[in-house]
């Protein structure tokens, strides 16, 4: 078997094993959530018999280990369960499948993450290349100071600052990203501008600094010095010689940040009341809707592990020396 293929298969196996352990942690963590759905629905006046019957109807009377294996076996078949919301002790069942609840929300989250990625990746590459080109200049110092400032603040703080500046003092964009299935594309882009800008400011610093560091590190290489001695301009040396050889670390950090972009939208979605998976997960925790919380957490974990796995594979494929560690 080819070493690259063998390494990729090993990483895939490691990713699946990691996802298994993460699913166990998710299930155990949700078991420790305070409160009980049946008691929240039935109220304090409910008798113990009524509570027990309702728990049996929901399957919450079974041992935790049996519920875990039932959940993970169904998830492997694409069945994420049925939402507790809409259930009632009277026998009326208005609940929905978790897949039907998450589907539209997941598309909204991916749209927001994709919009932020389309802005942040080219911007980070441009800032990183130009900062390396004008190293130690005033421009380089301003870019570094600005990116370090944005990365030092939490997402919700940046979101509120943008709402204050661009949504209140200068009402350019709406402060609430209330989109729906009927929202047209450009209207959706307009309403998602502030959330996407928030995510961009958070992640662009990581990618910009890695791009700058990778290029500066390569500028000390002998072949770069030879190109400079031939009289090739500094900009052409960076774009045509340094940047292609710096793609491995840059692609890795981009993949890492895209993973954070998908998983880290929870806070941003809550601040802007954006109907994504993050907002759905927070609402489900509030109402103690266990199947929805488990499904959202599992989707976030699988996305993060997958994108980190892709970053790992890109780093190995673009740098064959990693196939033979010493």
User: What phi-psi label fits residue 59: left (phi over 0), alpha (psi between -120 and 50 degrees) or beta?
Assistant: left
Q: pLDDT tens for residues 179-203?
A: 888 888 888 899 889 999 988 888 8
**Considering only the top CATH level, what class is 98-287?**
mainly alpha
- pLDDT value at position 138? 92
Residue 92: its pLDDT value, please? 45
What are the domain boundaries of the chain?
98-287
Longest dimension (CA), the chain: 87
Residue percentage of the chain with pLDDT more than 90:
1
pLDDT tens digits for range 48-65: 777 777 777 767 778 878
* Nearest to 271, CA basis, from 207, 197, 203, 188: 197
pTM across the whole model: 0.81
pLDDT beyond 70 at 226: yes
Distance CA 229, CA 223 (A): 10
Handedness of CA 223, 229, 233, 235 (dihedral sign): positive
Question: Which residue, among 133, 131, 130, 129, has the nearest Cα to 233 in the 3D structure?
Answer: 133
Own/partner contacts of 142-148, CB < 8 Å, gap of 24 or more, are 143/208, 144/209, 147/204, 147/205, 147/208, 147/209, 148/205
pLDDT tens per residue, range 234-263:
777 777 777 667 777 777 778 778 877 777
Task: Compute CA distances 188 → 115, 258, 274, whole Å.
Answer: 11, 21, 11
């Amino acid at each position: 078997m080819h070493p690259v293929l063998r390494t990729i298969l090993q990483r895939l196996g490691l990713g699946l094993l990691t996802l298994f352990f993460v699913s166990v942690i998710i299930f155990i963590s949700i078991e420790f959530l305070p409160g009980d759905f049946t008691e929240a629905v039935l109220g304090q006046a409910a008798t113990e018999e009524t509570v027990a019957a309702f728990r049996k109807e929901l399957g919450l009377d079974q041992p935790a280990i049996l519920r875990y294996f039932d959940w993970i076996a169904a998830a492997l078949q694409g069945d994420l369960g049925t939402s507790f919301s809409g259930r009632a002790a009277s026998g009326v069942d208005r609940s929905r499948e978790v897949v039907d609840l998450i589907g539209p929300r997941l598309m909204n989250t991916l749209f927001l993450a994709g919009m932020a990625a389309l802005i942040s990746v080219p911007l980070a590459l441009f800032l990183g290349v130009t900062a390396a080109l004008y190293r130690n200049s005033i421009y380089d110092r301003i870019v570094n100071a600005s990116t370090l400032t944005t990365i030092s603040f939490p997402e919700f703080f940046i979101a509120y600052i943008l709402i204050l500046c661009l949504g209140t003092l200068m009402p350019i964009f709406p402060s609430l990203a209330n989109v729906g299935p009927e929202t047209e594309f450009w209207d959706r882009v307009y309403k998602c501008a502030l959330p996407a800008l928030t995510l961009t400011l958070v992640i662009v610093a990581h990618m910009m600094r890695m791009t700058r560091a990778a290029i500066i590190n390569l500028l000390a290489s002998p072949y770069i010095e030879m190109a400079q001695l031939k009289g090739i301009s500094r900009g052409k040396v960076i774009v045509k010689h340094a940047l292609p050889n710096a793609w491995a670390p840059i692609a890795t950090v981009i993949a890492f940040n895209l993973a954070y972009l998908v998983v880290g939208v929870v806070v941003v979605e809550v601040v802007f009341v954006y109907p994504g998976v993050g907002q759905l997960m927070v609402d489900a925790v509030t109402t103690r809707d266990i199947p929805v919380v488990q499904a959202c957490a599992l989707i976030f974990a699988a996305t993060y592990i997958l994108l980190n796995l892709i970053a790992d594979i890109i780093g190995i494929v673009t740098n064959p020396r990693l196939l033979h560690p010493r």
